[in-house]
């Protein structure tokens, strides 16, 4: 599969908006999602060390993810960040991701 960037901090923080936007939420959810992916063995490398700060260049690439990791991103990432952005859920609320990951890891036997 061709490698590409799935998401990058600057894509969110540099976006023109017609309202006041707190970019710290973007930094927080990137740290959170990357930590989640790494803790669940969904990455092929350490994207962000525990003591490392998120920067404008922090990104998630296809090559950073295992097959399961990529399936999870496709299944739930967009919905998850939208809910976080809209402050419907906290950056450390992984219920939606856990549910999607469980479906990937334990497909229902027909």
Using CA atoms, how far apart are residues 23 and 25, in angstroms rounded to an integer? 5
Looking at every residue in the chain, the average pLDDT score rounds to 93
**Does residue 2 sit within a domain?**
no
How far apart, in whole angstroms, are the C-alpha atoms of residue 39 and residue 70?
A: 15
Is residue 77 situated within a structural domain? yes
The strand ranges marked E within 11-107 are 59-61
In a domain, 35, yes or no: yes
DSSP 5: E
Residue 31 in any domain: the answer is yes
pLDDT band at 84; cut points 50, 70, 90: very high
Give the span between the Cα atoms of 106 and 26, in whole angstroms: 31
What phi and psi, each to the nearest 5 degrees, are found at residue 78?
A: -60, -50
Provide the domain limits for residue 55.
Answer: 21-105
In a domain, 72, yes or no: yes
Per-residue pLDDT tens digits for 26-82: 999 999 999 999 999 999 999 999 899 999 999 999 999 999 999 999 999 999 999
Q: Look at residue 14 and tell me if it is in a domain.
A: no
Domain-embedded: residue 73: yes
Residue 10 placed within a domain: no
Total number of domains in the chain: 1
């Amino acid at each position: 599969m061709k490698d590409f960037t799935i998401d990058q901090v600057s894509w969110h923080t540099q976006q023109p908006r017609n309202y006041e936007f707190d970019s710290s939420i973007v930094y927080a959810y990137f740290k959170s999602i990357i930590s989640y992916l790494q803790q669940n063995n969904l990455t092929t490398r350490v994207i962000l060390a525990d003591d490392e700060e998120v920067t404008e260049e922090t990104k998630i690439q296809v090559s950073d993810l295992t097959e399961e990791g990529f399936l999870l991103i496709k299944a739930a990432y967009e919905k998850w960040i939208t809910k976080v952005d809209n402050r419907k859920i906290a950056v450390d609320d992984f219920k939606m991701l856990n549910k999607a990951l469980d479906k990937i890891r334990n497909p229902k036997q027909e």
